[in-house]
Amino acid sequence: MAITGASSGMGKAIAIELAEKGAKVVLGARRTERLQELVEEIKNKGGEATFMTIDVKNKADLVQLVNKAVEQYGKLDVIVNNAGISQLSRIDDQDIEGWEEMIDINLKGVLYGMAAAISVFRQQQAGHIINIISTAGLKISPMMGVYAGTKNAIRTISEAFRQESDGKIRITGISPGFVKTDFAGNIKNEEMRAVIQEDMDQMALDPIAIANAVMYAVSQPDDVEVGEIVIRPSKQN
């Protein structure tokens, strides 16, 4: 299993939980030191893990990540496209730099991951793509327009691929609501950062909940495809 954005938050939880269930995980992210620490943690618990420092904005990095999985473990069963970023602001604030960053990571980064995995999955005649999306695209809110747009683009792309696939390559979209991560820390807009952090402090889910959703999707029989899972705190509107 290859996981992007694996050094913290949901990616880290997915890596730990699935490794405990027997998955051999290949972790990708930009923060090398955190990846090293996570690999050691998994190995100390009896799991199998390795890592590669990657930036999902570089399509060659995703190819190297999936190839490392094949070289290390003989095949790749699952890719989890988890890496994402948020820059929340009004559209008329014209944070074009923020828009481009979200498009590069949330949209193009996922497409690069899908493309790299599909090349391997075609040869294997099997594989499973997990795209981490967001509830932001299901409920459109001010200040989240471009962020939600990138997430809805992946929702559309995932559904299109599901219909195009002959079933040998499965695809699942998982849309989390508020989850306890460092999501708010990357937001430049101070007002939005404070609002999001308050909501997260009050009701956010443990990221293990998302790891459990991934486990559910990938553990289904070969003839069962879980199209989309929406998982949010029960208090979240």
User: Which of 6-15, 94-103, 174-183, 212-221 bottoms out in mean pLDDT, i.e. has the lowest?
Assistant: 174-183
- Which pLDDT score is estimated for 92? 96
Percentage with pLDDT > 70 across the chain: 97
* φ, ψ dihedrals at 83, nearest 5°: -60, 135
- In which residue are the tokens 């990221």 written? 207
Mean pLDDT for the stretch of residues 116-141: 96
- Which pLDDT score is estimated for 147? 96
Active-site residues, by number, are: 147
pTM (global) more than 0.85: yes
Mean pLDDT for the stretch of residues 73-96: 95
pLDDT band at 173 (very low <50, low <70, confident <90, very high): very high
DSSP letter at 205 equals B
CB of 169 closer than 8 Å to CB of 121: yes
Q: Is the pLDDT at 184 greater than 70, yes or no?
A: no
Tell me the C-alpha distance between 232 and 146, whole Å. Answer: 21
What's CA 169's distance to the chain center, in Å? 18
Residue 87, number of CB atoms within 10 A of its CB: 18
Smallest CA-to-CA distance from 111 within 145, 75, 167, 63 is with 63
Q: Kindly report the CA angle at 6 between 10 and 88, in degrees rounded to 5?
A: 60
User: Which of 69-83, 177-191, 196-210 bottoms out in mean pLDDT, i.e. has the lowest?
Assistant: 177-191
Mean pLDDT for the stretch of residues 125-135: 97
Tell me the C-alpha distance between 170 and 223, whole Å. Answer: 9
CB of 66 closer than 8 Å to CB of 120: yes
Smallest CA-to-CA distance from 226 within 210, 237, 215, 211 is with 215
CATH number of 2-226: 3.40.50.720
Interval 26-69: pLDDT, tens: 999 999 999 999 999 999 999 999 999 999 999 999 999 999 99
Q: Is the pLDDT at 186 greater than 80, yes or no?
A: no
Smallest CA-to-CA distance from 6 within 40, 32, 30, 29 is with 29
Amino acid found at 193: R
